[in-house]
Chains A and B, each alone.
Chain A
Amino acid sequence: MKFLAKYIKKYWKSFSIAVLFLTFEAISDLLQPTIMAKIIDEGVANKDINYVLKMGGLMLLITAFGAMSASTRSVMASIVSQNFGTELRSDLFKKIQTLSFKNLNKFDRASLITRLTNDVTQVQVFVNGLMRIFVKAPLLAIGGLIMAARLNLHLSVVLAVVVPIVTLLIIVNLRLGFPLFAKVQRALDWVNSVMREYLSGVRVVKAFNRFDVEIGKFTKANDHFKDQSIAAGRLMATFSPAIMLTVNLGIVVVLWIGGLGVDTGKIQVGHIIAFTNYMTQILFSLMMISMVFNMFVRAKASAGRIDEVFLQEDSLSWKNETVRPSHLEKGRIDFEHVSFSYEGTMGEAVLKNITLTILPGETVGIIGSTGSGKSSLVGLIPRFYDVTSGTIKVDGEDIKHVNPKRLREKIAFVPQKNVLFTGTVAENIQWGKEDAPQEEVEAAATHACAHDFITASPEGYQTRIGQGGVNFSGGQKQRIAIARALVKRPEILILDDSTSAIDVATEAQIKAALKKYATGLTCLLIAQRITSIIDADKILVLDQGEVVGFGTHQDLLTECTVYQEIYQSQIGKEVL
């Protein structure tokens, strides 16, 4: 948990002040029963009303002091925990944003989101709790013990027996409870997964009439969950009365020993009352500590998950940039014996020994079956991932020697999945170039064949996308994403199967527009439809990570069997 060091260094002073005031608060709580004992033993016994009033006043004074301390530490605790949480969340977010994909892919996206939201909150709540009750509980327990012992050493023998027994009971309870609650959680996960599966497969279930099976599955999971919950509930039902009984019997013993003591004049009655007060105080503190322990385990798990992210070393590095002559061929891409495999996948390489050159201004279509490595290949160019071996050069420079920022500035990427962000259409397109004036935005949209449908909606470019906004169709979103890439005016444009939802005619229009929009633009086009890439300057055919064809449509049609197969599957024999 090295990441915590930074915050400890920053907040330990405020934290200590909060804990100091918490200690004052605990002391004022602890003093009350002793003063009460004094009122009874000295005020009432001696019929001294003045003394009673004096002590009452002292009690109020201490109460006021306690309240001030409590308020101060409450404010301190809020400030520290809120600042800490905000900062931790921000640092974690920054860390995630700057990690390379190689690191990021070690985590599920959903799990990263949970870490940012839930786990940070969990840790924050724990830190806040530390300054509220978690430190107070042990203080009260120990303080109560000291006060009780000071009050009457004789009676403390009872404590010497009761406290260890209660502690033992709590420990056993936790020991037995943890695995049980973990089982409850797993049982719940099971119920949820059966439910989730049913919901996503509801048509299949209905089509095959398999209601009985589904109900059977669910009942089994649900029964299991019920049994586990009952077991856990019953464990709690056993221990808490046992703990209470131990303390209560302790009180009875105090009364009896106290009675004997009072008879021989060794003990005063007020002490007995105060003593029983301390006993209950200690009991509640012990219970609180067991709760704290629960919280601690949870917070520790959360902190561990956060730590996993912080521990990721950014795998992207680059040599100091050497200033290069700028007249180099802009938009040239070279692959030299490039092999690549995703970390963790023990299987074979995704790309095997790929060597090819794409010249400036060329449009290259990439085709191949799913899993042939198309997306991986283009993902290497903006250095989303690093090659396992070999070299990739952009503009003649090894991309490992270039600052990824500078590299990515040259490249515009339209991903397979539509990713648009909350905001207006204009804002989304301006993602490509933040200061792009409206004309440029519209020009980009026009070339992406998006202008017409954008202006057709009542609010035009100010139409809001996403949460609560208008939902464009898949093909329209793809076109906005293309406009976003175009407005950047890149040297290299990569379209990763990003025209799949666009009809053929529009697609052809966009491709024609691309040529006009940017002369000299190098364009990589992944597609499923052979018609999408048939007129590209060159077509790259990938199969199981290897280049099996690279040339024009006509060349490939005669030379490349894989390409022929694809062609036949889509066009059919007759056209040939």
Chain B
Amino acid sequence: MSKGTEQTENNPSTPPPLRPGGAHRLRGPVVKPKNFKGTLKRLWNYFGKERKMLSLIFFFILLDSALMLLAPFLIGKAVDAMSLHNGKVDFNFLEVMIVILIFAYVGDAVLTFFQGWLMAGVAQRIVKSLRDALFKKLQGLPVAFFDSRTHGELMSRLTNDVDNVSNTISQSTTQLMSGLMVIVGSLIMMVILSPVLTVASLVTVPLVFLLTRTIAKKTSVFFKNQQVELGKLNGHIEETISGIEVVKAFNHEEKVIAEFDIVNTRLRAVGLKAQIWSGFLMPIMNVINNLGFAIVAVIGGILAVKSLITVGAIASFITYSRQFVRPLNDLANIFNILQSGVAGAERVFEIIDEQEELADPTNAVALENPKGHVVFENVSFGYRSDVPILKNVSFEAMIGSSTALVGPTGAGKTTIVNLLTRFYDVTEGRILLDGRDIRAYTRDSLRSCFGFVLQDTYLFSGTIKENIKYGKPDADDGEVEKAARMANADSFINRLPHQYDTVLSENGGNLSQGERQLLAIARVILAKPSLLILDEATSSIDTRTELHIQAALLMLMENRTSFIIAHRLNTIRDADTIMVIDDGQIIEKGSHDELMAAKGRYYNMFFNQFKNVEGALE
């Protein structure tokens, strides 16, 4: 397990997208959830036993907001204690106010602390369980699900979307609650302190709304354009950096630089517009806030001169009016975050709602040590109902025999294997193993009877030993080494710095293609499957290395029903049966010699492949 040793810097996953700059959060259009209420409700159900804790936290927030509303009032009273008695201070009253204030502040600190402390746990636990549920769900999903989605998309659901949910829970909801409390509370306090001043200071509120809306509308268009240009620029960068060999080989450095500059300049133009427009927002808000401040100061001053209001009340009022405006600015923002969080949850739930592989029927039997007699009976299949891939395919593979599948790409060779192992289920017809429909066996037991050697080897990060043991975790070192020897893998393993304990990076990046394939073969040898599938097992290996692997494969195939898919015809000429597949049908079947004698499709393919050789030999 590589404990995330590679820092983010060298993380070759998708580079994070560029974001429009600026300290504010005016962004492009928010992804809106389809069913806001429903998803929110479902999320709430998901919280499970954390709901009580969450309620407690919300209670703390309410309490804390009340305390925070109390403080300015107390300060005002304290100021009054100093100013209402002609230069003499009412120390008794001041003392009382100060003591209450201290309690309020300490209470606030304690409540904030507990609220934050608990929230960190609650949010992370919820997110963890969500992520766990998602991952467990992935285990149950059929291969078709993975084939139809990119890894990047799935990764993004597991990380970004779940993160969004976490932010929503821990930040937006609390901010929303306390924000609403403060707005309502401040308004009430303001009215209590002075209805006249309240009206005067509320004059600025519609102004705030109007201006933010206008600017937001304008900038959202600019930000959208910026996003588009950014996408183009990133596309160009991605293409020209990963294809830099070609750029250089064709002396096209200047051309791509010129193209880059064009897109880059366009990006600057839209970026500048977006930033300037959104940059006006903060100063304007500031002016309006200060305007409100001035109005309160002047009108409050006049009222105070006429003794209609105390100085302390003005002091309190100013604090309240500020408290009132600030969350007002944030609310729109919070709502956006909330929306994107809920949209994230929606995407997460989409996966959780995916159709899993159908559960095994209750009368399914566990398959153990099958003999390996395979029959396809009128099997038809399509990944999509309108595009048939296999059309009425029937054949029989005898116990211990080897069957080779050849034919052009897309003919349906791999599909036959996918059906046999129930990565997909047949649309029509049936497949029998040892005389029984494979759907009558439990899926797990069926699959564990097959050994796979695929073109892509898929090694897992971990040691060589762990990788070989993947199919049989309880194997001891002796067995592992024996399997490696049989696969011709031990010679290169012994050359590695830590032999069998050498740690492989993700997907065995530090090994050559051939070495990885040898490991995969050792893995299968150790697992001792009853049936064997070789899907282009040697096609990414050069032919000399293949020669070495071939021996291991032949040993593996001995006395096992095997299915071999290969492009290179010489690798399959010894198979008991060769089936030529084209357009979802078996068009020829027989041994190499039979098919050569028949001078049909196989003969042509074979002849084509070796035409040059014959020519050279003449």
Contacts and interface: CB of A to CB of B under 8 A. Distances in A.
Contacts of B512: 370-371
B189 interface: no
A356 interface: no
A108 B505 CA distance: 15
A79 to B, nearest CB: 7
A423 B249 CA distance: 19
Given A108-B12, A252-B105, A569-B547, A411 B124 contact: no
Contacts of A233: 116, 119-121, 123-124, 170
Contacts of A369: 514, 542, 544-545
B310 to A, nearest CB: 10
A228 B139 CA distance: 26
Interface residues of B, number: 167
Contacts of A66: 283, 286-287, 290
A195 B251 contact: no
Contacts of A196: 13, 151, 155, 506
Interface stretch (A143-151, A161-169, A215-223, A448-456): A215-223
B290 A245 contact: no
Contact of B112 (A32, A79, A241, A262): A241
A124 B21 contact: yes
A371 B492 CA distance: 14
Q: Specify the main secondary structure of chain B where it touches its partner.
A: helix
A256 B311 contact: no
Given A190-B3, A421-B243, A215 B82 contact: no
Interface in A115-150: 116-118, 121, 124-125, 128-129, 132-133
Residue with the greatest number of chain A CB neighbours at <10 A, chosen from B75, B444, B454? B75
A398 interface: no
A40 B268 contact: no
A185 B6 CA distance: 11
Interface in A477-491: 484, 488
A44 B301 contact: yes
A471 to B, nearest CB: 13
Interface string B506-544: 110000111000000000000100000000000001111
A229 to B, nearest CB: 5
A417 to B, nearest CB: 8
A110 B545 CA distance: 31
Q: Which 4 A-B pairs have the closest CB atoms?
A: A237-B116, A233-B120, A70-B283, A189-B4
B302 interface: yes
Interface in B1-33: 1-4, 6-13, 15-19, 21-23
Contacts of A236: 116, 120
A204 B458 contact: yes
A251 B291 CA distance: 25
Given A192-B159, A195-B135, A230-B124, A43 B305 contact: yes
A530 B543 contact: yes
Given A208-B470, A219-B132, A255-B101, A234 B506 contact: no
A59 B294 contact: yes
A569 B543 contact: yes
A331 interface: no
A328 interface: no
A75 B264 CA distance: 20
Given A90-B260, A125-B21, A223-B128, A82 B514 contact: no
A56 interface: yes
A74 B287 CA distance: 14
B250 A32 contact: no
Given A78-B276, A108-B10, A208-B471, A113 B241 contact: yes
B280 interface: yes
Interface string A436-458: 00000000000000000000000
B441 interface: no
B390 interface: no
Given A70-B286, A189-B11, 18 more contacts: A49-B302, A78-B272, A86-B265, A97-B244, A109-B12, A124-B21, A207-B452, A226-B125, A234-B121, A241-B112, A369-B544, A419-B242, A528-B543, A554-B616, A568-B547, A570-B568, A571-B613, A575-B614
A63 B291 contact: yes
Contact of B79 (A83, A128, A237, A273): A273
A71 B280 CA distance: 6
A110 B131 contact: no
B271 interface: yes
A535 interface: yes
